[in-house]
Chains A and B, each alone.
Chain A
Amino acid sequence: MTEPLLAIRDLSKSFGTVQVLKSIDLSVNRGEVVSVIGPSGSGKTTLLRCVNFLESYDGGSITIDGVEVGYDEGRKPRGERALARMRAETGMVFQSFNLFPHLTAAGNVMLGLIKVRGKSKAEAHEIALHWLDRVGLSHRADALPAELSGGQQQRVGIARAVAMEPKILLLDEITSALDPELVGEVLEVVRGLAAEGMTMLMVTHEIAFARDASSRIVFMDAGTVAAEGPPAEFLATADDHPRLSAFLARFRASHF
């Protein structure tokens, strides 16, 4: 078997005295879509944020393509520039979009291309239009974020992340802040990326979507990986796992 693209080994992390991640092991292979589900406070978002070092971690390792993310060989935190270059290899889409409000949709996508990838303005604009088209928003390229709906903003957020051609895309509850009728258009874009072989690690509350679009589902509980497996198998054996079945029951109860 080939080396996984993302390898998380024995990862631990505490906020003060609270240990939020306890010896997490998780791998994501090239082209895989892995969904992380679990109750709030289980550490899923923290895990995701560790992968591009928006959070530092205390123990264990995270490697992407064999390279440790946040620390150098002597386990010293990487310098500013090295860290920035590492982060450019992972795309991230945020729950609250976090678009740059002073830039247009195209400008949001172009910024990293120009500053980090060294593209010219014209090249960056062309790439931005390509990706905005992919998310169905080429006609809104010159709109400011405030002029876009939530679903449109999030699709720009996705375009901004994938335009950098990251090795892996991290999606942090990207539909949680959206009105229900806008969720579909965003998930549709993610589905398309998955079909094209984009490697993704996503934290989500959309169980149905996780089931349909993922290669694997991971259930996190109290800072540990409590269960994991391919969707069909995972959901079929959920009853053997009291915490997971309780979580899924709550989920079903709240959604229907």
Chain B
Amino acid sequence: MLDAMLYALPFLMEGLWVTIEVSFLTVSISLAVGVVLGVALIYGPLPLRLLVRLFSDTIRGIPILVLIFFVYYGFPAIGIDLASFWAAVTALTLFKTAQVIEYVRGAVQSIPQGQTEAAMAIGLTFRERLTNVIFPQAMRRFLPPWINGVTDAVKGSALVSLLGVTDMMYSINQVIGRTYEALPLYILGAAIYFIINYSLSALSRRLERRFSFVQA
């Protein structure tokens, strides 16, 4: 069994790299876009708020697998023809962005209105209020679900194998196709995913401790 794993390992490395790439792109783009849209959802003018709400509700209402197929097979009909890798990243990012929007909304709205008023009263502008008063406090409410979402993104990235993207999952299946030894390979795959996600959780616990302060 161990032999089978050691034999397979080199073949998985390239796939592992793709998995990490997909996860990293998904997580970082969705974070940047999601924070902006989340702020727009809370503070934006009504039409913008409705638009973001519509986007978030629609995306979150669609199974992620359907979303992936939709982007890959459906978008070409409207002139957007993405390579399988980018189609997968786009679909996963859309999905993740909708989640980040909701995490941001929840975290920011948990900060009492008095904080905004006190920040206004000393003359801070909207941007200064967000960066100096609201975000630092919202951070500890945002981090736990978000890091949870990061591990979900790593796990969810396995779905890109369904578009023929050679990620780790796809590489595992390739090796199994050659050796017909499924169990050791799936155990190995599970172990690698677990190691990545466990490290992320450990990191998140440290981050959460850093951002926790005694609440008044």
- Tell whether A40 is near chain B: CB-to-CB under 8 Å: no
Count of A interface residues, CB-CB < 8 Å: 32
Contact indicator B122/A160 (Cβ below 8 Å): yes
B139 nearest in chain A by CB position: A102
- Using a CB-CB cutoff of 8 Å, which residues 123-148 of chain B contact chain A? 123-126, 128, 132-133, 136-137
Knowing A100-B133, A102-B213, A146-B216 are in contact, say whether A164-B122 is a contact too (CB < 8 A): yes
> How far does the alpha carbon of A91 sit from the alpha carbon of B213 in the complex, in Å?
27
Contact indicator B118/A85 (Cβ below 8 Å): no
- Tell whether A145 is near chain B: CB-to-CB under 8 Å: yes
Contact indicator B124/A99 (Cβ below 8 Å): no
> How far does the alpha carbon of A4 sit from the alpha carbon of B214 in the complex, in Å?
44
Q: A112 is contacted by which of B124, B137, B214, B216 (Cβ under 8 Å)? A: B124
A170 nearest in chain B by CB position: B121
> How far does the alpha carbon of A52 sit from the alpha carbon of B120 in the complex, in Å?
9
Contact indicator A88/B122 (Cβ below 8 Å): yes
Contacts of B118 in A (CB 8 A): 92, 94, 98-100, 160
Q: Mark A85-118, 1 if CB is under 8 A from B, else 0.
A: 1011111101011111110000000011001100
Contacts of B120 in A (CB 8 A): 52, 54, 84, 87
- Tell whether B28 is near chain A: CB-to-CB under 8 Å: no
Q: Mark A131-149, 1 if CB is under 8 A from B, else 0.
A: 0000000000000111100
Contact indicator A54/B121 (Cβ below 8 Å): yes
Contact indicator A96/B114 (Cβ below 8 Å): yes
Chain A proximity of B4: nearest CB distance (Å): 52
- Tell whether A34 is near chain B: CB-to-CB under 8 Å: no
- Tell whether B115 is near chain A: CB-to-CB under 8 Å: yes
Chain A proximity of B143: nearest CB distance (Å): 14
> How far does the alpha carbon of A98 sit from the alpha carbon of B119 in the complex, in Å?
9
- Tell whether B57 is near chain A: CB-to-CB under 8 Å: no
Best-buried of A99, A115, A146 by chain B (most CB within 10 Å): A115
> How far does the alpha carbon of A146 sit from the alpha carbon of B215 in the complex, in Å?
6
- Tell whether B81 is near chain A: CB-to-CB under 8 Å: no
Q: Interface size class for chain B?
A: 20 to 34
Contact indicator A94/B117 (Cβ below 8 Å): yes
Contact indicator A111/B123 (Cβ below 8 Å): no
- Tell whether A161 is near chain B: CB-to-CB under 8 Å: yes
Contact indicator A92/B121 (Cβ below 8 Å): yes
Contacts of A101 in B (CB 8 A): 137, 213-216
- Using a CB-CB cutoff of 8 Å, which residues 67-126 of chain B contact chain A? 112, 114-115, 117-126
Q: A100 is contacted by which of B115, B123, B126 (Cβ under 8 Å)? A: B115
A87 nearest in chain B by CB position: B123
Contact indicator B114/A98 (Cβ below 8 Å): yes
> How far does the alpha carbon of A176 sit from the alpha carbon of B118 in the complex, in Å?
17
> How far does the alpha carbon of A131 sit from the alpha carbon of B137 in the complex, in Å?
25
Knowing A101-B214, A144-B214 are in contact, say whether A85-B114 is a contact too (CB < 8 A): no
- Tell whether A240 is near chain B: CB-to-CB under 8 Å: no
B135 nearest in chain A by CB position: A102
Best-buried of A111, A147, A164 by chain B (most CB within 10 Å): A111
Q: Mark B18-35, 1 if CB is under 8 A from A, else 0.
A: 000000000000000000
- Tell whether A80 is near chain B: CB-to-CB under 8 Å: yes
Chain A proximity of B131: nearest CB distance (Å): 9
Contacts of B214 in A (CB 8 A): 101, 144, 146-147
- Identify the 8 closest CB pairs spanning chains A and B, nearest first: A88-B123, A112-B122, A98-B118, A146-B214, A98-B114, A92-B121, A116-B123, A101-B216
